[in-house]
A and B are shown apart, each in its own frame.
Chain A
Amino acid sequence: MSQQIVPVKTYIFVFASLIALTLLTTGVAFIDLGPFNTVAALAIAFCKMLLVVFFFMHLRQSSSLVKVVLLAGFFWLALLIVLTSTDYRSRSWTPAPDSWSTTAPPTHP
């Protein structure tokens, strides 16, 4: 087949890196970094994902078509998360007019 066979050593090295990153992410969680705990956890998870995708899933050797498909998938995922978050975070910036209020309507004698 068109795919080159990856040496066992590469797989072992990638696996060792993944274990090291797992220990790192667990260790970092026990140090107080404030909001950067979340940033560090996600950054490490992202690195682990890249290792799995490029080596275990052979993306390195895959055709450009496969790479574009995956990139399109991530673009769509980004739209989903970013646009949803934008909506929730900005809702309070433009409060609904008082006249839209659903609480007890003003009574006229």
Chain B
Amino acid sequence: MTDANVQAEHHAGLKHQFENLEQQQDADTLGIWVFLVTEIMFFGGLFAAYAIYRWLYFAAFEGGSHILDVRLGALNTVVLLGSSLTMALSVRAAQTGNRRALVLFLVLTMILGAVFLGVKAYEYDQKFVEHVVPGLDWAPEGDVLAKLAPGGLGHAQLYFIFYFAMTGLHAIHMIIGMGLLLYLVLRGRKGTFTPHYFAPVEVVGLYWHFVDIVWIFLFPLLYLIGGRY
């Protein structure tokens, strides 16, 4: 047995039920993937319902989609993809044992996540300004009304219910992700993560990328219905 092995087996992060850190990381990775599959089904229910209603009331969904600001949606997509890049780079920094880079990239990921949520909050606020919030403030008028009227106002409400439910659920995932990142920053600063032990960074990274993928689908499905020509 080499010295490296002995060191790894006595690592503080190694739980009793595992032979070694490598086996533990394989189990952790499989575990988070199984969780992500349940998340696919969780969002999948919303996507399936969205698909049915979009097919039934296409004109209403198209009208609702045209109320949204494509530029803000595209900007947020770029911001979130950027945060995925910094997340991937922080996992890499953990793999190479670069503590400074790890903390830097984790903080950058958090900042980009906060920018995304800030833009999202501004968009939600705009919905109140335009009075297109079903249940709380539904009184579209002027241009907004003209865009929504062809599909029927009742079904336009349905579109906005999907808009708020899907982006809201996504935003909740982002907020949870931000909390997990903060936890990683606090532990990472103390040098907990090494090239032998970085499973928590990898696991949170997988979760963060999943949330990014959900947005990759939400952007075209909510903002780009029926084209913008």
Residues of A participating in the B interface, judged by any CB pair closer than 8 Å: 1-3, 5-6, 8, 11-12, 14-15, 18-19, 22-23, 25-26, 29-33, 37-38, 41-42, 44-45, 48-49, 52-53, 55-58, 62-63, 65-66, 69-70, 72-74, 76-77, 80-81, 84-85, 88-89
Contacts and interface: CB of A to CB of B under 8 A. Distances in A.
Contacts, number: 144
A69 to B, nearest CB: 5
A26 B74 CA distance: 7
Interface string B40-56: 11001101100110011
A97 to B, nearest CB: 24
14 contacts: A2-B22, A2-B25, A11-B88, A12-B85, A26-B70, A30-B227, A56-B87, A57-B205, A65-B30, A70-B37, A73-B37, A81-B47, A81-B48, A88-B52
Contacts of A15: 81-82, 84-85
Contacts of B36: 70, 73
B150 interface: no
Interface stretch (B89-97, B110-118, B163-171): B89-97
Contact of A8 (B89, B196, B226): B89
Contacts of A30: 227-229
Interface of B: 21-22, 25-26, 29-30, 33-34, 36-37, 40-41, 44-45, 47-48, 51-52, 55-56, 70, 74, 77-78, 81-82, 84-85, 87-89, 92, 95-96, 195-196, 198, 202, 205-206, 209-210, 212-213, 216-217, 219-221, 224-229
